[in-house]
């Protein structure tokens, strides 16, 4: 994990994920549910966890807020860190089915973290049918986005069932050791120093940007002016509040969720997307749209469009997960439900996503986050709520290993992702693992009280799309 960079201070994007939980409907917990073919070897698993805790700073760090409200929160090592609080064992009730495991995971995902401790939990569960075991991992979105999470959790996984050799112990470096408590004056000096350094970096970036803009303006005054107008309009669209969901039936919001899961062959999704000159993601989103159209028809609600959020990874080339934290832009846009032909639907999705990726605002997500953060946590939370609570649904696509992995001798048969609702009615997340698209469906039960019906509609739609392959 040494290639991942862990800063001492939250970025403004991370801080926004942290502060928006002042509204409990905007909680941003990421949950992953693993199904193992057997229980992990206890000693190997303990050693792997100790290695991960020593190697990944965030697993030992808690959030310390700046009381003066000048700077974003800081990550500091927890002097009272107790791994037994975060690593828990239990037993699944019922018949030990996947349904029982998901029902066990859903309320855990809905519980808020203890903000005075590191923001993660790992639940190791036995009692599954046929000798299987389950693992539920949850962490706060302020730690990382999905791409960073895949990198961070890699230290718990192996490429083979048999041990490949003793795990070398990792000793935290001197800079990782728990600092001595500092007084208020020392903390204030630290905050002011950080803000001064950040301001200098931003100032240098602004001067450089202004220089480039001046050159561009001299060379192409009309094109440069139009670009500035387009950027301003893009930023305005990205921040525009919305008053109510577009769906006439998925309108309720609560703090109760239901988890469901589907599996689809990635190769079939890829071939289906190619029918519309598109990608796996185009086929995936088109299948979700088809399922939602079926669900609305089931309830007698004919609707042509819904509002969707799709996180767009804005990491630079070569930085695919090398930076811990959130490096994505939350694209919000309307998507069609009235296209029956799946090939036409995929083509429409391809064009919509292409346009969204080209939005100028997303290249400036860091500056936008900084501007929003400067408004203060309370104002930001209200603004965020006005943008997110009326979102109908979220889709996300996270790449995982294209080969099987093991957890201390146990094969990870399934790795099911569940993204946060953050005010939406449902979240559908795809995680690619060993040639399979693991699709986690997280629904707010007030918006979707019959989650089994929605899952059946989605399953039928994925079948329709993959049949094209």
**Domain 12-162 is found in CATH 3.30.559.10:** yes
Quick count: other Cβ atoms within 10 Å of Cβ 47?
16
Residue 249's closest CA among 303, 212, 327, 175? 303
**Among residues 203, 150, 195, 197, which one has the least CA distance to residue 396?**
150
What CA–CA distances, in Å, run from 209 to 4, 38, 146, 197, 312? 28, 55, 30, 18, 23
Whole-angstrom Cα distance, residue 33 to residue 22? Answer: 26
**Tokens 């993601």 map to which residue?**
281
φ/ψ (deg, to 5) at 169: -65, 145
Q: Any residues with CB less than 8 A from the CB of 337 and at least 6 apart, and which?
A: 289, 292, 293, 296, 303, 304, 305, 306
12-162 and 257-400+425-466 in the same fold: yes
The CA distance from 17 to 419, in Å, is 13
406-407 vs 410-418, strand pairing mode: antiparallel
Q: Is 463 left (phi over 0), alpha (psi -120 to 50) or beta?
A: alpha
Residue spans of the domains in the chain: they are 12-162, 194-239, 257-400+425-466
Q: Average per-residue pLDDT in the chain?
A: 83
> For residue range 163-207, what is the model confidence (pLDDT) as tens digits?
875 444 444 444 344 444 455 666 556 656 655 655 555 454 444
What is the pTM assigned to this prediction?
0.83
Residues in the chain: 469
Residue 61 near residue 178 (C-beta atoms within 8 A): no
Write the pLDDT tens digit of every residue in 389-448.
Answer: 889 999 999 999 999 999 999 999 999 999 999 999 999 999 999 999 999 999 999 999
Lowest mean pLDDT among 46-60, 205-219, 250-264, 443-457: 205-219
The answer to which of 20-29, 72-81, 237-246 has the lowest mean pLDDT is: 237-246
End-to-end CA distance of the chain: 38
Q: Which helix (H) or strand (E) holds 219?
A: helix 184-219
In terms of Cα–Cα distance, which of 91, 72, 391, 99 is closest to 253? 391
375-399, pLDDT tens digit by residue? 676 776 677 777 788 899 999 999 9
Token pair in block for residue 287: 């299948």
pLDDT tens, position by position, 85-138: 999 999 999 999 999 999 999 999 999 999 999 999 999 999 999 999 999 999
What does DSSP assign to residue 425? S
User: How far, in whole angstroms, is CA 329 from its chain's centroid?
Assistant: 11
For 244, other C-beta atoms within 10 Å of its C-beta total 10
For residue 351, give every residue at least 6 positions away whose Cβ sits within 8 Å of its Cβ, in sequence order, or none.
none
Residues marked as catalytic: 141
* DSSP structure class, residue 21: G
Q: What is the model's pLDDT at position 171?
A: 47
Task: Say which CATH class 257-400+425-466 falls into.
Answer: alpha beta
335 touches 428 (CB < 8 A): no
């Amino acid at each position: 994990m040494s290639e991942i960079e862990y800063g001492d201070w939250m970025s403004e994007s991370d801080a926004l994920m942290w502060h928006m939980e002042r509204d409990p409907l905007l909680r941003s917990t990421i949950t992953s549910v693993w199904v193992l073919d057997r229980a992990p070897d206890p000693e190997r698993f303990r050693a792997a966890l100790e290695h991960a805790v020593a190697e990944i700073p965030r697993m030992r760090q808690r959030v310390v807020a700046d009381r003066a409200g000048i700077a974003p929160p800081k990550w500091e090592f927890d002097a009272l860190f107790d791994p037994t609080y975060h690593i828990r064992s239990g037993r699944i009730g019922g018949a030990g089915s996947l349904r029982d495991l998901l029902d066990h995971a859903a309320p855990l995902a809905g519980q808020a973290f203890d903000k005075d401790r590191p923001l993660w939990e790992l639940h190791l569960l036995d009692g599954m049918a046929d000798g299987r075991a389950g693992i539920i991992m949850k962490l706060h979105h302020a730690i990382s986005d999905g791409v960073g999470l895949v990198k961070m959790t890699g230290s718990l996984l192996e490429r083979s069932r048999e041990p490949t050799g003793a795990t070398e112990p990792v000793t935290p470096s001197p800079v990782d050791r728990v600092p001595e408590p500092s007084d208020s004056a020392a903390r204030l000096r630290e905050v002011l120093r950080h803000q001064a350094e950040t301001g200098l970096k931003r100032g240098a970036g602004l001067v450089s940007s202004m220089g480039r803009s001046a050159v561009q303006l001299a060379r192409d005054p009309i094109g440069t002016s139009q670009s500035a107008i387009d950027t301003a309009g893009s930023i305005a669209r990205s921040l525009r509040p919305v008053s109510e969901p577009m769906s006439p039936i998925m309108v309720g919001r609560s703090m109760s969720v239901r988890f469901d899961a589907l599996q689809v062959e990635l190769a079939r999704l890829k071939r289906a997307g190619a029918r519309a000159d598109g990608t796996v993601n185009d086929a995936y989103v088109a299948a979700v749209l088809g399922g939602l159209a079926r669900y609305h028809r089931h309830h007698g609600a004919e609707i042509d469009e819904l509002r969707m959020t799709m996180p767009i990874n804005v990491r630079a080339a070569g930085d695919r997960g090398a930076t811990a934290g959130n490096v994505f832009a939350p694209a919000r846009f309307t998507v069609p439900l009235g296209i029956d032909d799946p090939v036409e639907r995929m083509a429409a999705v391809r064009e919509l996503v292409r346009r969204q990726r080209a939005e100028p605002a997303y290249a400036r997500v860091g500056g936008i986050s900084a501007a929003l953060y400067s408004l203060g946590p309370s104002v930001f939370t209200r603004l965020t709520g006005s943008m997110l609570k009326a979102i109908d649904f979220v889709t996300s696509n996270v790449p995982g290993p294209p080969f099987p992995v093991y957890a201390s001798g146990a094969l990870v048969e399934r790795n099911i992702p569940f993204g946060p609702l953050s005010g939406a009615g449902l979240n559908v997340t795809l995680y690619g693992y060993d040639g399979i698209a693991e699709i986690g469906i997280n629904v707010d039960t007030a918006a979707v009280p019959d989650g089994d019906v929605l899952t059946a509609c989605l399953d039928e739609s994925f079948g329709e799309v993959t049949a094209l392959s």
